Structure 1
Amino acid sequence: MRRITLLSAFLLLILSIKPAFAQHARFATEGIIEFEKSVNMHAQIKKYINKDNEAYYIPAFDQYKKTKPQFRLLKSTLTFSKDKTLFSPAPADESDRGWFSDIPATSQNNIIYTDLSANTSIVQKTVFEETFLVRDSTRKINWKITSETRDIAGYSCRRANAIIMDSIYVVAFYTDEIPVSGGPESFTGLPGMILGVALPHENMSWFAKLVTDKSLPSGTLIAPKKGKVTNNKGLLDTLMKVMKNWGTYAQHSLKSFMM
């Protein structure tokens, strides 16, 4: 009787954990990922306060802390096939607008179509009141893969680190259960889908909340077409010319728009 009882218990255990193993048995090569961007508004605002503006910025910041949450949360989707992705921000909550809502890093300015097989991207980029269509190669990121792992949206992910734009430290988590070398915004180049990105010193992150493994109808992945056509160098030259007298505000804004 004891053997039968133990055997029965073992079989029940196997049956109970089988769905967990079967959940991602099929490697996803098409689908939609829902991301959430989190921005530490307090840290972002502090970067813009200096001795020239503190007389009115500090009272405004104090009022902001009383009426707004510290972290601003923004939604987006990444639609993907085996060799193409389309990153699309969801409309921001207009009730969240007010003081400091125009800081570039605290919004989502890009619609990004990436051809992973050709290593090219087309970015519809909103810069204040103007829209650019930036056609260029994808950013080359020298990733260093580590042994650290964590679970994101039900997928086992491995950590990788990198430096972009000479000084921005990036922590990413990718899963080889989605064998597509894409990710949110302009982050690509790992041996699997990037489901989490953190920029610790920039006080922001993107993490997947839901992954839907599904076949996509033909024509789903379409590159954006609106905006003044340029490339990354042309955009940088334009922004530097416009912001040459903006002081420290230009430094932070340029970083955000070129990221």
Structure 2
Amino acid sequence: MMNRSYITLFFLLCLGLMQSQAQHAFFPEQGIITYDKTIHVKNLLKRQLTLIPEGDMQRRFLENMIPNAPETAVLQRTLNFTPTEVSVEPVPKNHEPFIAQLMQFGMLDYGTKFYQNFAKNESQVSLEFGGSAIMIKDSLPSVKWKITNEYRNIAGYDCRRANGLTQDSVYVVAFYTDQIPTPGGPNVIQGLPGMILGLVIPEQNVNIYASKVELTAAKVNTDLLKKKGEVASREDTRKKLLGSLGRFIKEKQFHYLFTAMFL
């Protein structure tokens, strides 16, 4: 009888300990995440080639460039997060001349900076294009998500897969963790019940995966729009750029380039 009592007591203590641990699960409130953005350069250039008409000077330029292009290039960016805010900025890096030239032409990456406030439904975007500063302030972009039952471990966190369609009709695959409940990610794509640590954008030939998560004091850049210049909405910016570039490139090519600014 005594042995049964001890066994019952031991079982109850273990059960209480498990419940206590579950109730006090640790959810980090702030930190810094480093992401590796892998661009499949040859595939990206080939994709851009399909958007340019035969005989166009840009097409010949790309055709001559593709054989010498590396298969991939890796860029880095950091994300600072709190429960309600994130900011994302590129990490300066010296690239080989070929990649540096493509970046200068705006064909790989625009060095875009992002800020999002989930409590205020606010988004800020800052980048350089054609030697001019582009600054956008708008509401958070919408994404239609479908959460799946596929899982993957990224940077030590168990992540669940979600398939999404952005407001630009771009298909994306995201892997998010609810262990970091801030609903952000490495670019403007957001809206899942946790932080996006992995992001695949097939149309843009880009994969973005977290390589390091540091649970430390965050330094969220809450104002990317300090530079002098016009601040506009995303749609107004799109119309303005289309008006100035529409004479030189086709609309499909413009849509592809404009979308890449936010990814």
- TM-score interval, smaller chain: 0.7 to 0.9
Change (3 A) 1:105 1:188: farther
Which range is displaced more, 242-251 or 91-100? 91-100
Unaligned runs of 5+ in 1: 1-20
Residue 57 (structure 1) shift: 3.4
Contact 2:109/2:261 (<8 A) preserved: no
Deviation (angstroms), 1:252: 2.7
1:110 & 1:92 partners in 2: Cα distance?
14
Q: Which runs of 5+ in 2 are unaligned?
A: 1-20
Query: 1:135 offset after TM fit, Å?
Result: 0.7
Which residue type is aligned with residue 46 of structure 1?
Answer: K
Matches within 5 A, 1:27-42: 27-42=27-42
Deviating more after overlay: 50-59 vs 191-200: 50-59
Which aligned pairs between 1:1-259 and structure 2 lie closer than 5 A? 26-49=26-49, 50=52, 51-52=54-55, 53=57, 54-62=59-67, 64-65=68-69, 69-96=70-97, 97=99, 100-102=102-104, 104=106, 106-216=108-218, 220-224=220-224, 225-226=226-227, 227-248=229-250, 249-257=253-261
Q: TM-score, normalised by structure 1?
A: 0.81
Mapped to 2, the partners of 1:124 and 1:255 lie a distance apart of 14
Letter in 2 for 1:252: Y
Q: Which moved more, 1:124-133 or 1:181-190?
A: 124-133
Q: Given that residues 42 and 70 in structure 1 are in contact (C-alpha distance below 8 angstroms), is that contact kept between their aligned partners in structure 2?
A: yes
Shift of 1:253: 1.8
Q: Distance in 2 between matches of 1:187 and 1:200?
A: 14
Most deviating of 244-253 and 77-86 = 244-253
Question: Given the superposition, is the C-alpha separation of residues 146 and 131 from structure 1 closer, same or farther in structure 2, using an over 3 Å criterion?
Answer: same
Aligned equivalents of 1:77, 1:138: Cα separation in 2: 20
CA–CA separation in structure 1 for the residues paired with 2:161 and 2:107: 24
Give secondary structure in 2 for the equivalent of 1:57. helix
CA distance in 1, matches of 2:66, 2:153: 36
- Cα distance in 1 for partners of 2:60, 2:144 equals 43
Paired with 2:137 and 2:61, the residues of 1 have a C-alpha distance of: 40
Cα deviation, 1:26-69, whole Å, max 9, x if unaligned, reads 2111000000111111011113335224545323322x24xxx3
SS of alignment partner, residue 142 of structure 2: coil
Kindly state the Cα deviation for residue 215 of structure 1 after the two structures are TM-superposed.
Answer: 2.8
Asked if the contact 2:188/2:262 (under 8 Å) is kept, the reply is: no
Instruction: Give 1:177 shift.
Output: 0.5
Moved more, 111-120 or 125-134: 125-134
Name the SS for the 2:258 alignment partner.
helix
Aligned amino acid, residue 254 of structure 2? A
4+ residue segments displaced more than 6 Å: none
Relative to structure 1, the CA distance from residue 199 to residue 146 in structure 2 (aligned partners, 3 Å threshold; closer, same or farther) is same
SS of 1:214's equivalent?
A: coil
Q: 1:85 to 1:71 in 2, by over 3 A?
A: same
Q: Which residue identity is paired with 2:113?
A: I
RMSD: 2.2
Give the C-alpha shift of residue 129 in structure 1. Answer: 0.9
Please, what TM-score do these two structures have when normalized by structure 2?
A: 0.80
Label 1:177 to 1:254 Cα distance change in 2 as closer, same or farther (>3 A).
same
Judge which range, 244-253 or 223-232, deviates more.
Answer: 244-253
